[in-house]
Amino acid sequence: MSMIKRNPKLIIISVLLVLSFAVALYLRINLPFDRVFSDVGIKYTSADAYYNISLADNLAHNFPHHMTIDPYRVFPGEPAGVLYGFIAWLIAVPAWIIGLGSPTQLHVDLVGVYLPAILGGLTVFPVFFIGKELFNRWVGIMAAGLIAILPGEFLGRSILGFTDYHVAEALFTATTMLFLILAVKSASQQELTFNHLKQWDWGMIKKPFIYSLLASLFMGIYIFTWLGALLFAFIVALYFILQFTIDHLKGKDTDYLSCTVFVFFLVTLVICEYDYEIGFGFACAWVSPCI
């Protein structure tokens, strides 16, 4: 409270940030509302949404268990496995809680239809903090405002009823980037070295370690959401290679990068090992009949 009194700009920044979030929700919920909630029931705004809802519905009614064979994908060959991404869990868990352990189809539909709009609105927050960390608060507010109203694919895939993983990709990518930026920035500012790790100097390693841990957590969730997230992991690895090269040419110690990248990729691997194996097996089962 005293910080706000000393810096009234924080009140303006907070109000503008909340306003950006509200505008993002309005555009994504109110404008397509009549088209989604019709006289004949809920109409989703993408074809894949119906498949995702069917997975979430099955999971919600059998929580925490889910089907391993999809009967709708049996024809014309062998039974096909089911890849339960994070979107199905994001729908099923809240629906199961709202339904007090006995969710109805309406509970699943309502959670599923609002989910993309909510995720799209939440994206303004990591975007704001990315702009703030790279430049300043006003740049962050500008970025948050732009992502809230930005037309095109992001808006189209985050509207009411577009229940798919695409908007979750944007949110988890931005959040991963935010914590990676914070991890690298804090490690560089504190001149983190391997000796700090050996001596377990918690005062020095606390911020870089926590930020790296959070970045890897959201990276793991992102991979659980979509296997194509491995492309983003490659981009992150490419950044670290380039930064290592730049720092080496400048004669700068690269221990801070080594510590950050080690924690990030190790924890990401641990989080995703089980889910990736399932997803990779599913992908092989999907592709192999076409080869």
Residue ranges of the domains in the chain? 1-36+44-163, 165-291
Q: Residues 62-71: pLDDT tens digits?
A: 898 888 777 7
Q: Residues 182-194: pLDDT tens digits?
A: 999 999 998 888 8
SS3 37: strand
pLDDT score at 285: 38
The upper half-sphere exposure of residue 163, i.e. CA atoms within 13 Å in the direction of its Cβ, equals 30
The pTM for the full model equals 0.88
Q: Residues 166-225: pLDDT tens digits?
A: 999 999 999 999 999 999 999 999 888 888 888 888 888 899 999 999 999 999 999 989
pLDDT score at 288: 37
Exposure string for 236-248, b = 16+ CB within 10 A, e = fewer: beeebeebeeebe
H-helix or E-strand spanning residue 38: strand 37-38
| CB 1, CB 128: distance < 8 Å | no
SS3 226: coil
Alpha carbon distance 289, 78 (integer Å): 10
| CB 190, CB 204: distance < 8 Å | yes
pLDDT score at 64: 86
Cα torsion 245, 251, 255, 261 to 10°: value is -20
Question: What confidence tier does 16 reach under pLDDT thresholds 50, 70, 90?
Answer: very high
Alpha carbon distance 96, 218 (integer Å): 23
